[in-house]
Structures are given as C-alpha cells and as structure tokens.
C-alpha cells in the first residue's frame, strides 16, 4: 500500500520515537510510506538520521510567545497550511490511505479525507483537550473538545493506545467496531540483551543495587517518590539511575541534596534509542512510579524487552499489559507507602526479580508487542478499509 503519514509533532522525544518506529516497521513490510509533518516531507529512512532531543519543541516558538487564546487560534489556522501541504503531497504520491497521529486543533488529515475520499486511520495517544486543560491550560475549551470529537467521528478507524482511552472515545459516540486498541511496543533490535556492565562502569555503580527510570521527566511522573525511598533505612546503599532529561530535573536535584541522597542519584541526560537497552540492562528494578490513566508508556515495553523486574501502578492501562505478580509488582496508585512497601519487598527478593523479568520478556515476545507487530495490525485494518 501507499500510506500518507500525517502528523504535527515537532518534538524529538517519545512522540518522535513512536512516529519513526511505526513508519519504519510499515516500510519494512513493503509499504510505501510518505511522512508529512511540520518540518518536511520525508521517508522513514530520513527520520532514522534524526537524533532524539527531548527538549525539541518544548515551550518554544509561538507556544512560548503568544497568550493562550492567540496560540490556540494559531494552531487551528495552521491546519489550513498543513492541509495545503498534505494535499500537494497526496497529488504527487497518490496514497491509498491516510494515517494520522492526532493533535489538538489539527484537521489536515480529516480535510484531505473529505476532499479526496481517502480512508483515514487515526492514531490517538491521549484525550488531548482533557490533557491540555489539566496540565497546560486551555482557553478555547468548547472548540477544543468539539474539534477533537469531530476528528474522531470523521476517521474511518481509530487506534487508541489503551482501554481507558478507548472508553473516552466510545463515550463520545464512536461505534466500537471503529476502534482497535494498539498499545506501544519495542523495536526488534531492543529484544537483544543489553550490556549493563558498561553502563554500570561509566557511573561507577559496580555491584551496587540499582533502581532505574527512563524518559523525559515531568513532575507528574512521581520520580520524587524514588528519592524519598532512597532516604529510608531500606534504601540505604541503593543507587538510582535516571536515564533521560526533562523539566523536573532541577527540582529532583534539589530534593536529592535535601534528602542527602545526591551521591546515589545519577542522571544520564538524553540517551539515544540505540544505547537504551544497555542502560536498562544495568537496572536491578525498573520503575514507573506514576502514570496518567490513559497512557501506554514506552518505558514499560522497553523494560519488558530487557527482562527487568518492574514496579508500576495498579491501574487499567498498566494491568492490561502487565499481570501483577507474574510480569511485575503493581502497587496502589497515589499511595507512597504502597510504593515503598513494594520496593522493600522486591529489593529483598532476588528470585522474584528474576521471575518477574523472565515473565515480562516472555509476554512481550508471545504477544508480539513490537512495532513490527503493530505495523501488521495497522496493515490488517487498512486492508479491511480498502476492501
């Protein structure tokens, strides 16, 4: 098939990882994929040359200069420019189908579908109006919610990343037969066991007990919980390796100094995907201290691929991926003491850590929770729509 991939993502963090991984996997299946985004029209091979930069697009450009109403109006107006670019790309490429990563106030794919009668598959990673209102502030609330739901209704098929997210889409009146849940995944290359010893040597961790977290860190990830646990009697002598960067880092450094655990708190900065497996392999326990109720965290799949013992919140979007006591230990969300008690238990049980890690990796492989697997799922849906 000829797939026109539409998006409005400037950041080079987890969103970019998702775009690059899926388009590369679709191309590997033999599909012709043309990517049309805010920077350029490109192929999956072009994306492969772009390094990760977690700060790219973070409060830069118009978002940092305009008041919220003006910025949101500009977002909506941008759809016209994006549609014109997408239309030109479609004229040259002649796609069979449009695949779009949903964004707030972004209508380019919907308009192209309507003007050229092309099937539209819509990937939804979050309830964007709800998320913007909760975290970033939202001025044009009524318009945002109406636009988002109109986009959902216009799509021929919707791919939410979790069941809680699918439930929100159903509540907006979308028929269940138009919805297929496809969580995130890992690259095939990430199934190769990483070399944790080299990373441990780099940070002088040796045979220390190491907790780990990966990603672009914001306050809502709850990483401060880990530092508080390091300061408990059970946490003495344990080190915490944070693989990533983000706006929460300065506050976490200050907290580590206050709790007198700074010498056991190591921050790597941005790590490219090719080096991620080695870093995760250095963990004794991989952590997801907190997560939004509708997300499909990339880090969970990365942890599973490396066979790490995982601790994560016991909530629907996590428990549909990980079974408690089989592939992870799940704790009651938003209860620090539950998180601490779970860490205490797993730190002192090496046999359980090994069993959980083995179970997590096996489930990932058995269910084909890879981008290649996801590309095959997308292909089946696209073929059905074209038929």
**DSSP class per residue in 272-331:** -HHHHHHHHTT-SEEE-----TT---HHHHHHHHTT-EEEEE-SHHHHTT--BTTTBEEE
Answer whether 305's CB lies under 8 Å from 373's CB.
no
pLDDT digits (tens, 9 = 90+) for 29-43: 999 999 999 876 677
Q: Token match 């990365």: residue?
A: 302
User: How, if at all, do strands 285-287 and 210-216 pair?
Assistant: parallel
pLDDT of 137 higher than 90: no
The 3 state secondary structure assigned to 316-372 is HHHHCCCCECCCEEEECCCCHHHHHHHHHHHHCCHHHHHHHHHHHHHHHHHCCCEHH
pLDDT digits (tens, 9 = 90+) for 176-204: 999 999 999 999 999 999 999 999 999 99
Nearest to 312 by CA among 304, 300, 294, 302: 300
What's the pLDDT score for residue 226? 98
Measured in residues, the chain has a length of 387
Q: How far apart are CA 74 and CA 37, in angstroms?
A: 17
Nearest to 122 by CA among 132, 110, 105, 112: 110
Give me the mean pLDDT over the 50-79 stretch. 71
User: How, if at all, do strands 32-36 and 41-42 pair?
Assistant: antiparallel
Nearest to 343 by CA among 304, 319, 309, 316: 309
List the single range of 2-16, 44-58, 59-73, 137-151 with lowest mean pLDDT.
44-58
Answer whether 186's CB lies under 8 Å from 299's CB.
no
The sign of the dihedral angle between the CA atoms of 271, 275, 280, 282 is negative
What's the pLDDT score for residue 65? 73
Distance of CA 315 to the CA centre of its chain: 17
pLDDT of 103 higher than 90: yes
- Confidence label for 56 from pLDDT (cuts 50, 70 and 90): very low
What's the pLDDT score for residue 4? 98
What's the pLDDT score for residue 52? 54
Strand order in the sheet with 329-331: 265-267, 239-245, 210-216, 285-287, 309-313, 329-331
| Average confidence score pLDDT of the chain | 93
The sign of the dihedral angle between the CA atoms of 335, 341, 344, 349 is negative
pLDDT of 93 higher than 60: yes
Give me the mean pLDDT over the 87-100 stretch. 97
- Confidence label for 15 from pLDDT (cuts 50, 70 and 90): confident
Number of other CB atoms surrounding residue 213 within 10 Å: 23
Nearest to 129 by CA among 106, 160, 162: 106
pLDDT digits (tens, 9 = 90+) for 321-362: 999 999 999 999 989 999 999 999 999 999 999 999 999 999
What's the pLDDT score for residue 61? 58
Give me the mean pLDDT over the 122-145 stretch. 93
pLDDT of 68 higher than 90: no
Q: How far apart are CA 15 and CA 27, in angstroms?
A: 18
Nearest to 6 by CA among 38, 31, 45, 32: 38
Query: Can you tell me whether residue 111 is helix, strand or coil?
Result: helix
Torsion of CA 196, 322, 239, 247, to 10 degrees: 100
pLDDT digits (tens, 9 = 90+) for 254-305: 999 999 999 999 999 999 888 999 999 999 999 999 999 999 999 999 999 9
The sign of the dihedral angle between the CA atoms of 326, 327, 329, 332 is negative
- Confidence label for 69 from pLDDT (cuts 50, 70 and 90): confident
What's the pLDDT score for residue 63? 61
pLDDT of 57 higher than 50: no
Q: How would you class 96 by CB atoms within 10 Å of its CB: exposed for 0-12, middle for 13-18, buried for 19 or more?
A: middle
CATH fit for domain 2-185+370-386, picks 3.90.1150.10, 3.90.1330.10, 3.40.50.2000, 1.10.8.60: 3.40.50.2000
What's the pLDDT score for residue 53? 59
pLDDT of 12 higher than 90: no
For 190-366, which CATH superfamily applies?
Answer: Glycogen Phosphorylase B; (3.40.50.2000)
Residue ranges, comma separated, of all CATH 3.40.50.2000 domains in the chain are 2-185+370-386, 190-366
DSSP string, 195-242: -HHHHHHHTT-TT--EEEEEEE--GGG-THHHHHHHTSGGGTT-EEEE
Burial 59-77 (b: 16+ CB within 10 A, else e): eeeebeeeeeeebbeebbe
The sign of the dihedral angle between the CA atoms of 6, 87, 91, 153 is positive
């Amino acid at each position: 098939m000829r797939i026109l991939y539409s998006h409005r993502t400037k950041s080079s963090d987890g969103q970019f990882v998702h775009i690059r991984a899926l388009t590369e996997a679709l191309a590997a299946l033999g599909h012709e994929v043309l990517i049309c985004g805010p920077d350029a029209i490109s192929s999956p091979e072009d994306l492969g040359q772009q390094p990760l930069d977690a700060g790219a697009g973070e409060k830069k450009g118009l978002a940092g200069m305009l008041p919220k109403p003006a910025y949101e109006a500009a977002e909506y107006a941008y759809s016209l420019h994006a549609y014109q670019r997408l239309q030109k790309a479609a004229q040259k490429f002649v796609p069979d189908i449009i695949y779009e990563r949903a964004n707030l106030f972004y209508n380019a794919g919907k308009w192209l579908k309507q003007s050229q009668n092309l099937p539209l598959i819509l990937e939804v990673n979050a309830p964007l109006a709800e998320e913007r209102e909760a975290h970033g502030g939202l001025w044009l609330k009524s318009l945002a919610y109406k636009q988002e739901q109109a986009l959902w209704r216009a799509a021929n098929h919707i791919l939410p990343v979790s069941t809680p997210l699918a439930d929100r889409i159903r509540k907006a009146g979308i028929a269940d037969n138009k919805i297929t849940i496809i969580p995130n995944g890992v690259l095939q290359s990430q199934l190769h066991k990483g070399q944790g010893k080299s990373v441990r040597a780099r940070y002088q961790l040796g045979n220390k007990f190491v907790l780990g977290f990966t990603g672009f860190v914001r306050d809502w990830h709850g990483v401060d919980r880990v530092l508080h646990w390091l300061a408990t009697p059970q946490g003495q002598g344990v080190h915490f390796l944070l693989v990533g960067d983000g706006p929460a880092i300065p506050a976490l450094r200050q907290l580590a100094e206050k709790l007198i655990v700074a010498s056991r708190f190591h921050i790597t900065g941005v790590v490219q995907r090719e080096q991620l497996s080695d870093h995760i392999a250095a963990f004794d326990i991989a952590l997801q201290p907190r997560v939004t109720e509708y997300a499909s965290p990339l880090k969970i799949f990365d942890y599973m691929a490396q066979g790490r013992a995982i601790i994560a919140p016991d909530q629907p979007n996590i428990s549909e991926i990980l079974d408690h006591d089989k592939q992870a230990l799940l704790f009651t969300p938003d209860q620090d003491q539950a998180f601490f008690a779970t860490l205490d238990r797993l730190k002192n049980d090496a046999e359980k850590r090994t069993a959980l890690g083995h179970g997590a990796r096996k489930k990932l492989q058995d269910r084909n929770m890879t981008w290649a697997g996801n590309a095959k799922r997308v292909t089946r849906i696209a073929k059905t729509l074209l038929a």
